[in-house]
Amino acid sequence: QVELDESGGGFVQAGGSLRISCAASRPFHNYVMGWFRQAPGNEREFVAYIDALERDTVYSDSVKGRFTISRDNGKNTLYLQMHSLKPEDTAVYFCAACVKSCHEFTKELSNYGYWGQGTQVTVSA
């Protein structure tokens, strides 16, 4: 089991940048990781994926080219660097560790068994 703790959220103007982090409670180098987000009234949606060795990353179409997922296995920390932020990026952002069907890319929420509490990102117009 691993506990995840997101941080770094906040308020930013449209066009700005923000980096959010996700600290794991123990070594997480064996876990495939993902970032998800949930806006008020919406379902939680996939944002980005990274495999255990950082060889493969996948992004949703809505953030591709603007967001970058990365990890530092030595620090047990996952990152999401966000550039060119838009008001529609406003949401609570969650990191998650994959526990099922992780041998290939997955964006299915049910495959991610460990979740953080989320960090709020608000982008003003």
Distance CA 47, CA 79 (A): 12
Q: What is the pLDDT of residue 112?
A: 97
Distance CA 86, CA 15 (A): 6
Residues of the chain with pLDDT under 50: none
Which pair of tokens denotes residue 43?
């379902």
pLDDT at position 88: 97
**From CA 35, how far away is CA 106, in angstroms rounded?**
12
Collapsed DSSP state (helix, strand, coil) of residue 109: helix
- pLDDT for residue 80: 98
* pLDDT value, residue 54: 86
